[in-house]
Amino acid sequence: MSTFSPRNRRLLSGVLSSERVSGAYAFYGVAGSQLQAAAAFFGMGILCEFLQDGEPCLTCHSCATIGSGQSIHYRMLSPEKWGIDQVRDIQELVQYGAVGDRMVVVISQADRFTTEAANAFLKTLEEPPFGVTFILLTYQVMSLLPTIKSRCQLLDFPVMPVSVPGQDNPELARYEAEFGQGLSIPYRPLAEVLGLSLDERMKYAQEIATSKPEVLVMLTAWLRDSLALDPVLGAQIWQKLIATVSDMKYNVNLRLHVEKLLICMS
């Protein structure tokens, strides 16, 4: 399971809690550093209706629409190149300020601005429209133009290696352990569950289907984990998790819901 740096996650949570979100950020790292997962986490946090301790709730209307790629407040822009036309598109998008109170615009491959486009975009970055936060992503920070860089809060993301059971990434393992300690049911990260056989999943469903509040906490962690998966698989799993959370509200048969979820998640 790969996810973005727990250290940066704490840092971004701190920014969200303090409500001192800047107008422009640049997240950078090499391939594998999960910049998009970090942008989704931070963007969700900025827009979340029920932010808790600097963490997006993942279930409010805003979080759910971002997760399903349908939010008009969270825009991910990833054109083939960043020329003057693409910058005009951004400017059009934000010309009247944020839609609603806040808006997050994620700009991927921000190192690909032509000089002309960068100069045009600088004006927008210098005076960010009201309520708009830009998150620039780049895997080539050396190619990010200095003028653009100087107007962003920079955050460096280390690579988070894929965590295989028994071959742990210490920082990720510590984070998972801290999370698991708070629960009385045996917590397993989403990636580990996806690797279980059908029999093992059934056994695991029996172990955890003992406490509805704790299962809900665990599903919230899995929702977050699903952001770091391959986008297609992540979106499918996200929908199944949201449907399960919603069904659980109206039905008391916890074990049935947990079993159904564990069987259909793949």
> Is 144:111 a contact under the CB 8 Å cutoff?
yes
> Is 62:48 a contact under the CB 8 Å cutoff?
yes
Q: Applying CB under 5 A, which of residues 11, 21, 57, 235 lies at the interface with Zn ion?
A: 57
Q: Phi-psi category of 69—alpha, beta or left, where left has phi over 0 and alpha has psi -120 to 50?
A: left
Print the binding letters for residues 6-45 with Zn ion: x by CB under 5 A, - otherwise.
----------------------------------------
Single out the segment in contact with Zn ion by CB under 5 A; choices: 55-63, 120-128, 229-237, 239-247. Answer: 55-63
Nearer to Zn ion, 12 or 63 (CB): 63
Distance of closest approach, residue 51 Cβ to Zn ion, in angstroms: 7
Distance CA 162, CA 169 (A): 8
Distance of closest approach, residue 207 Cβ to Zn ion, in angstroms: 29
Distance of closest approach, residue 142 Cβ to Zn ion, in angstroms: 36
Residues of span 228-257 touching Zn ion by CB under 5 A: none
Nearer to Zn ion, 42 or 204 (CB): 42
Nearer to Zn ion, 44 or 265 (CB): 44
Q: Phi-psi category of 86—alpha, beta or left, where left has phi over 0 and alpha has psi -120 to 50?
A: alpha
Nearer to Zn ion, 41 or 204 (CB): 41
**Nearest 5°: phi and psi at 55?**
-120, 135
Helices assigned H by DSSP within the chain: 6-18, 35-47, 61-67, 84-94, 115-126, 146-149, 170-181, 190-194, 198-208, 212-226, 231-250, 254-264
Nearer to Zn ion, 60 or 196 (CB): 60
Nearer to Zn ion, 64 or 215 (CB): 64
- Determine, following the binding rule CB under 5 A, whether residue 63 of this chain makes contact with Zn ion: yes
Binding-residue total with Zn ion (CB under 5 A): 5
Helices 35-47/6-18 angle, 10° precision:
20
Q: In what order do the strands lie in the sheet with 24-29?
A: 74-77, 103-107, 132-138, 24-29, 153-157
- Determine, following the binding rule CB under 5 A, whether residue 48 of this chain makes contact with Zn ion: yes
- Determine, following the binding rule CB under 5 A, whether residue 60 of this chain makes contact with Zn ion: yes
Distance CA 64, CA 83 (A): 32
Distance of closest approach, residue 47 Cβ to Zn ion, in angstroms: 8
Distance CA 213, CA 224 (A): 17
Distance of closest approach, residue 247 Cβ to Zn ion, in angstroms: 19
**Residues in touch with Zn ion (CB under 5 A):** 48, 56-57, 60, 63
